[in-house]
Chain A
């Protein structure tokens, strides 16, 4: 089947912060919804489909995403959907819907305010309710078990991990939206106290409030709305077993599979935006994707410098697309993850023409 060409034509994100207590989710989203529409030079009347990604567990109330729809304004009635996933998966849903031919322009938004709760405990609620959930084993602890497994296997060292943190913060110095940035010394990072050993604080993404918006357009509409659309040439997501012990945590089989199915290996990429909330996960992803040394990895600073849960994967797509639309890159890969220890992985290959 000939796939319909779909591109990212606009992207906007919030200035990510530790806590935006003075803004609710609707207030957080409204400015960047306007910005993303303006970036495509359209009003909301051109949007055929709206799809969002968020988690009620963060807001602490069921169907909170329905309330947040007020940010877009669902009147007159709109065609709309939601995923309890990172917004990258909302892009996937919209991309599938656009293949059916009825939708030419789709708007995707995602948001997460982690500040009202304890994100480590909140994320423990995504675990199975029999074996892991009742232990309240948290997201950092599970990542620490994964990191130790990788260190023991010789897949990477604590120095490698600290270098990822330092490089991310260096890159984020050119990203005005990042929460963390700056020049840091690897030796200084390693001298800091353990957090959940073997992880240091610098190995973990910060706790962030933030949101992002992407506009997708198909075929001629994409060319109309953007001088250089970032065409989605491949998009695929794969899931590993939820039984943690059944997985090899030192590698990422699902990332490798998604990359194969998204056609990543057909040509080299200039940029990779990887959604790695922990330093060792970036190392696992780089290896699973077989990225060459000269690929620019996380020029935005990545999730280690701003991690609005549910939006951090969508931001990877936006950041990768932005570099294509600006002419800085010709081919890029964006990655999003979900679940404990990189359980689920989505890859999106983007190209300019």
Chain B
């Protein structure tokens, strides 16, 4: 008879909170307010989301610039079976999205209603924002809830303040 192999659940947690600083913080604060910012790189190009140091010269970057919340799909991948905790629990696309005014694309999810034909390289998408947090709301902020991935009802300074992107109405 084969020996029984013992198993036990092992829940790994990293319950840290961080201070995001003037660059990442500016991006997250803008999201909470419902707009998107990037940062001007050493060569004048606009990097979105903003990075603290120039990717090529390593100099500290400081000039925050606003970009649009809509743009063009640079590349995309179709997820027929989403994994746990991903932004959508039904078939969706990951995309590299170059927002208008940005020179680099950012990664986010695109909801085409489950239809892979709803996205293509070069197609236009726009952010689907969560609503602003009402005054007096006691919804937990990120990192405070017991659940490491709490459902986010409102914008609170988090990449998922943009719930996902959707195809731009033509």
Contact = CB atoms under 8 A, between A and B. Distances in A.
Mutual binders A and B = yes
Interface of A: 21-22, 57, 60-61, 116, 118, 120-121, 129-132, 134-138, 141-142, 144-149, 152, 194, 196-199, 241, 243-247, 249
A308 B67 CA distance: 42
B75 A245 contact: no
Given A135-B109, A136-B85, A198-B77, A145 B24 contact: no
B68 interface: no
Most B CB atoms within 10 A — which of A22, A61, A131, A196? A131
Interface string B65-76: 000000000111
Contact of A121 (B49, B84, B158): B84
Contacts of A141: 77, 79, 94
B159 A131 contact: yes
B169 interface: no
B108 interface: yes
Contacts of B127: none
A244 B121 contact: no
Contacts of B149: 136
A41 B8 CA distance: 41
Contacts of B160: 134-135
Contacts of B77: 141, 144-145, 147-148, 196-199
Nearest to B164: A135
What 10 pairs between A and B have smallest CB-CB spacing? A144-B77, A241-B55, A245-B104, A197-B78, A246-B55, A136-B85, A149-B75, A148-B75, A245-B105, A145-B75
B55 A243 contact: yes
B83 A138 contact: yes
B159 A134 contact: yes
Interface in B40-63: 47-49, 51, 55-56
Contact of A148 (B27, B28, B108, B121): B121
Interface of B: 3, 5, 10, 12, 18, 20, 24, 27-28, 47-49, 51, 55-56, 74-80, 83-87, 94-96, 98, 104-109, 116, 121, 142, 149, 158-160
Contacts of A149: 74-75, 96
Contacts of B3: 22
Contacts of B76: 145, 148
| Residue of B49, B74, B78, B149 ringed by the most chain A CB atoms within 10 A | B78
A241 to B, nearest CB: 3
Contacts, number: 112
Contacts of B27: 130
Contacts of B108: 135
A134 B85 CA distance: 9
22 contacts: A22-B3, A61-B12, A130-B159, A131-B49, A134-B142, A134-B158, A134-B160, A135-B159, A135-B160, A136-B85, A144-B94, A145-B76, A145-B77, A196-B77, A196-B78, A197-B78, A245-B48, A245-B96, A245-B98, A245-B104, A245-B106, A245-B107
Contacts of A142: 94, 107
Nearest to B94: A141
Given A130-B24, A130-B28, A149-B96, A137 B47 contact: no
Contacts of A136: 83-87, 149
Contacts of B5: 21-22
Contact of B94 (A118, A120, A145): A145
Nearest to A246: B55
Contacts of A131: 49, 106-107, 159
Nearest to B116: A197
Contacts of A145: 75-77, 94-96, 107
A146 B105 CA distance: 12
A229 B134 CA distance: 70
B151 to A, nearest CB: 13
Contacts of A134: 142, 158-160
A131 B12 CA distance: 21
Contacts of B104: 243, 245-246
Contact of B86 (A21, A135, A146, A197): A135
Contacts of A249: 75
A246 B47 contact: yes
A53 to B, nearest CB: 20
Contacts of B12: 57, 60-61
Contacts of B96: 145, 149, 244-245
B30 to A, nearest CB: 13
Contacts of A245: 47-48, 96, 98, 104-107
Contacts of A146: 75
A109 B169 CA distance: 55
Contacts of B24: 130
A194 to B, nearest CB: 7
